[in-house]
Amino acid sequence: MLDRLLDQPNCNVSGVTASGFAAMQAAVFAYGLSVGGRRGARTALANFWRRVSHASMFAIDRTSLLRSMLEQSIDLEQIRGEDCPVKLDVLAVNARSDALKIFSGEQLSIDAIVAAATVPFLSPAIEIDGDLYWGDGDISQLQPVALRGARHGLMVTGKPSMSMARCPDRSLSSTHCAAGCATVHTIFDSQYRAASPLLLRPWIDWGQLTEIRDRGRQSAENWLAADLSRAHERAAFDCISQYI
């Protein structure tokens, strides 16, 4: 989906909040965009998925695999630098308290990104500052302040969100949001979760990865055709009742 959105000249990304394995992709995307613009981001993502396919043939420990791929794919200081065009936040879950935590700025680290991509109970939680974290955090539970300052927000998800945080600055009787909430859209791919088992197997076929990529591009294409042309008219989620 990111690959297709990079083709859209009027679609500029100022910030990304990601959870699960998407945190790895978001970090690679932010790094590639920072060092090489749109072409750099597309190249970085393609190289990352090549590493996913190749490294999985040799690594037994999944945590070591994730860390190795990430360290080969990004320069963390480049992402955390002021010149990076994308503000990156990654969402992980405290394995002890089940509380969500956003890692951003100076707190953003290789450990934090790996923790966000770690499958709960299937791999050990990652220790960060004395606490244990792993992934699968629900971004829909984030407070809407995370999107303030953006004209539009886009949520890419593989499951419909049953619970979304209400915008605190909009009363039930009001049609105007005092905080200037961004319009929120969603790209929903019901087959997204079906790809998850591929990342747990000892070897990942490149052909299957390209099929996933092509399906993601098509999902983004469908959304662009249906929503983006009317983005100023409506939101996929109505801020009067729902907001992320």
Count structural domains, the chain. Answer: 1
- In whole angstroms, give the CA distance from residue 162 to residue 184: 16
Residue 55 located in a structural domain: yes
In a domain, residue 76? The reply is yes
The answer to whether residue 173 scores a pLDDT higher than 60 is: no
Give the pLDDT band of residue 155 (cuts 50, 70, 90). Answer: confident
What 3-state class would DSSP assign to 167? coil
| Domain membership flag for residue 242 | no
| Range of the structural domain that residue 188 is part of | 2-230
Per-residue pLDDT tens digits for 98-138: 999 999 999 999 999 999 999 888 889 999 999 999 987 66
pLDDT of residue 33: 95
- pLDDT of 240 > 50? The answer is no
Residue 238 lies in a domain: no
49 lies in a domain?
A: yes
Q: What is the pLDDT of residues 45-103, one digit of tens each?
A: 999 988 887 776 665 677 888 898 899 999 999 999 988 999 999 999 999 999 999 99
Percentage of residues in the chain having pLDDT higher than 70 = 66
Beta carbons of 184 and 234 less than 8 angstroms apart: no
Determine contact, residues 239/167, Cβ cutoff 8 Å.
yes
Planar angle of CA 83, 85, 88, nearest 5 degrees: 105
Q: Is residue 240 part of a domain?
A: no
184 domain-assigned: yes
Does some domain include residue 236? no
Between 147 and 20, the more confident residue is 20
Higher pLDDT, 180 or 82: 82
Which pTM does this prediction carry?
A: 0.79
Mean pLDDT score, 169-190? 55
Report residue 200's pLDDT band, with 50, 70 and 90 as the boundaries: low
Residue 51: half-sphere exposure toward Cβ, Cα within 13 Å: 19
Task: Say how far apart CA 118 and CA 103 lie, in whole Å.
Answer: 15
Q: Which two tokens stand for residue 225?
A: 């055709």
Distance CA 61, CA 124 (A): 10
- pLDDT for 192 equals 52
| pLDDT level of residue 179 (50, 70, 90 thresholds) | very low
CA–CA gap between residue 166 and residue 154 (Å, rounded): 16
